[in-house]
């Protein structure tokens, strides 16, 4: 496993991180599989474990708290997030100072930790003044309850730059990291966010590297959807909406490139993200140890320039030369 700094901070994370967004914790057998997956991750050099208070109604945090307690705390980088409702009250949501402080305390209790390494705003809160949010996060750093803070989805380049202006004006602890969705099927952050992050020294920890399973190669054009896959879940319309002829044609062409490199599509898709120097890591879920074993092979795998160019042609994107001062 290789490691990278999170932006200009001194914090180092494994290139492949383990996320808990879709971890199945229902039943003893499922929890045992999840526990073995975490053990395998740690044994293979994964040091970054990503969670959120909204995942499984807090059960994901409590699970991580129980499992990670067996490992030396100094060897772990643990994150959580704040924004989504944690109760029925009008203040049990959003990015107010009250909700941030209370949610952080609950996350620490759930995970049996004295501090979180990374703490993200899960979404943007249009009902709360941005200065209030940033002051609260900076104060948590001063209190030692979090070491670094950042943001996730709905924070475009303009919002990041506005946050930076407030931070500089008030002398707050810096915004260190963003966690956007980024994969071969969704490259929106290349248009603006990557440049802003490079200019401000903000790290990028991406999630959904396999586009909900689209980039694993399990969904093939003209073939039935595999039994038990996410596309068979009645409530999971997101993956079904992505199984268009256009996307499946793209997958077929990408598989040819991966085959030529001697790896499967999932490994190539994750390695492609890591080819971007501004990316600190890819956060991937794993429902079983075998998936994790495959994911970690992406760390250190280098895709040749000609294959990178072919991937750009397949995905319909032009690579931009960036000169960031």
* Residue 319: pLDDT over 60: no
Residue owning tokens 């901070």: 9
Q: By CB neighbour count within 10 A (0-12 exposed, 13-18 middle, 19+ buried), where does 54 fall?
A: buried
Spatial CA neighbour of 156 closest among 192, 123, 116, 115: 192
Q: Which of 55, 119, 149, 219 is catalytic?
A: 55
Q: Cα–Cα distance between 144 and 296 in angstroms, integer?
A: 31
Which stretches does DSSP call E strand in 55-164? 77-82, 116-121, 146-151
Q: Cα–Cα distance between 100 and 82 in angstroms, integer?
A: 6
DSSP 230: G
Q: What is the pLDDT of residue 106?
A: 97
Per the annotation, the verdict on 55 as an active-site residue is yes
* Residue 69: pLDDT over 70: yes
Q: What is the pLDDT of residue 237?
A: 60
Q: What is the pLDDT of residue 230?
A: 58
Instruction: Using pLDDT thresholds of 50, 70 and 90, give the confidence band for residue 324.
Output: very low
Task: Report domain extents, the chain.
Answer: 3-212+266-302
Q: What is the pLDDT of residue 323?
A: 33
The SS3 assignment for 120 reads: strand
Give per-residue pLDDT as tens, 256-283: 999 999 999 999 999 999 999 999 999 9
Spatial CA neighbour of 14 closest among 85, 66, 79: 79
Q: What is the pLDDT of residue 290?
A: 93
Structure tokens at 52: 């959120």
CATH number, span 3-212+266-302: 3.20.20.100
Average pLDDT over residues 134-148: 98
What's the whole-model pTM score?
0.91
Q: pLDDT averaged over the chain?
A: 91
Average pLDDT over residues 58-85: 96
Q: Cα–Cα distance between 58 and 159 in angstroms, integer?
A: 28
Instruction: Using pLDDT thresholds of 50, 70 and 90, give the confidence band for residue 31.
Output: confident
Q: What is the pLDDT of residue 325?
A: 30
């Amino acid at each position: 496993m290789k490691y990278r700094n999170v932006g200009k901070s001194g914090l180092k994370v494994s290139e492949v991180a383990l996320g808990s967004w879709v971890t199945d914790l229902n039943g003893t057998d499922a929890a045992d599989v999840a526990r073995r997956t975490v053990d395998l991750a740690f044994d293979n050099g994964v040091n970054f474990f990503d969670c959120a208070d909204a995942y499984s109604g807090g059960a994901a945090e409590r699970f991580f708290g129980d499992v990670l307690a067996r490992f030396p705390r100094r060897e772990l980088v643990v994150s959580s997030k704040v924004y989504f409702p944690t109760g029925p009250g009008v203040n049990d949501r959003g990015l107010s100072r009250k909700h941030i402080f209370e949610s952080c305390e609950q996350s620490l209790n759930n995970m049996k930790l004295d501090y979180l390494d990374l703490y993200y705003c899960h979404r943007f809160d249009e009902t709360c003044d941005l200065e209030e949010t940033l002051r609260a996060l900076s104060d948590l750093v001063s209190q030692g309850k979090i070491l670094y803070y950042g943001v996730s989805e709905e924070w475009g380049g303009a919002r990041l730059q506005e946050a930076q202006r407030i931070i500089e004006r008030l002398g707050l602890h810096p915004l260190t990291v963003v966690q956007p969705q980024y994969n071969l099927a969704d490259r929106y952050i290349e248009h603006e966010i990557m440049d802003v992050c490079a200019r401000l020294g903000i790290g990028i920890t991406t999630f959904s590297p396999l586009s909900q399973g689209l980039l694993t190669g399990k969904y093939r054009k003209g073939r039935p959807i595999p039994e038990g896959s996410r596309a068979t879940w009645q409530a999971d319309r997101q993956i079904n909406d992505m199984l268009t002829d256009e996307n499946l044609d793209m997958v077929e062409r990408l598989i040819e490139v991966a085959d030529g490199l001697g790896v499967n599509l999932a490994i190539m898709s994750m390695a492609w993200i890591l080819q971007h120097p501004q990316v600190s890591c890819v956060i991937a879920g794993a429902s079983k140890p075998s998936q994790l074993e495959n994911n970690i092979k992406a760390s250190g795998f280098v895709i040749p320039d000609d294959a990178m160019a072919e991937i750009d042609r397949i995905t319909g994107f032009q690579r931009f030369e960036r000169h960031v001062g």
